[in-house]
Copies of this chain bind each other. A is one copy, B any other.
């Protein structure tokens, strides 16, 4: 495990997000430019390990990266800069929006199950089933007993897919309210970013403390051995991208996958090619 994993692993028990500085850069003492270069340097190994995972798809292994965080916390940035270091052929990204009527007619995990990446791939959730205990709780979108039920249901679901071969990496992108304000104002100042802005964002922001509490409860109750949470200080985009790059690297290294050995006679195949009737 990298020092990044140690730095962001959440201890069991109650979670106090106010005790975690969103502008901190734990396990890293470089600056922005260094971090961007360091992230690029992870690229070749990430790409190699992603290809090994793909090559070993018969092993049933996969990785699931769950990205959760308030608006502007940078889920899209992680996708572009960190996940973008591997071939898009090896990645399945799902961005979860408000559920459709069909999705609402099923248990909240139904659409999640459908979105899981097949073995050999890296699945990425941009938002996830955690919305159902975050906005679900804050906005009282379901009765409180139902919200209660979901924590256990999530743990059982994650345990099952972990047992079936998926390494789960859950990241909470932790930003400060002040940083979010800056980012929202920056979006409003830039006409090429207006499409990302929704007046409802400010309504959600007004519930910042309620969201923090909902995150703290969710983090505490679903921080399992099978699917541990990492809280990533995300006021610095470059730190966030690098830290998640290291967590992804740890997950892929942890699979400890070698290249599959040939199930054919290599020398015989070479001979077949050399001896072939000319092809054109």
Once bound together, how far apart are the Cα atoms of A66 and B235, in whole Å? 40
Once bound together, how far apart are the Cα atoms of A91 and B87, in whole Å? 11
Of the candidates B184, B259, B269, B280, the one whose C-beta lies within 8 Å of that of A188 is B269
Of the candidates B55, B89, B208, B270, the one whose C-beta lies within 8 Å of that of A126 is B89
Stretch at the interface among A107-115, A165-173, A260-268: A260-268
Once bound together, how far apart are the Cα atoms of A198 and B269, in whole Å? 9
**Residues on the B chain within 8 Å of A12, using CB:** none
Once bound together, how far apart are the Cα atoms of A228 and B101, in whole Å? 38
Interface size class of A (residues with CB under 8 A): 35 or more
When each residue 184-210 of chain A gets 1 if its CB lies under 8 Å from chain B and 0 otherwise, what string results? 110010011011111100100110110
When each residue 230-270 of chain A gets 1 if its CB lies under 8 Å from chain B and 0 otherwise, what string results? 00000000000000000000000000000111101010011
**Residues on the B chain within 8 Å of A47, using CB:** 80
The 10 A-B pairs of least Cβ separation, nearest first, read A80-B87, A55-B195, A194-B262, A79-B89, A177-B279, A195-B260, A208-B279, A88-B88, A192-B259, A88-B91
Residues of A at under 8 Å CB distance from B? Answer: 47, 55-56, 76, 79-80, 83-84, 87-89, 91, 93, 95, 124, 126, 177, 181, 184-185, 188, 191-192, 194-199, 202, 205-206, 208-209, 259-262, 264, 266, 269-270, 272-273, 276-277, 279-280
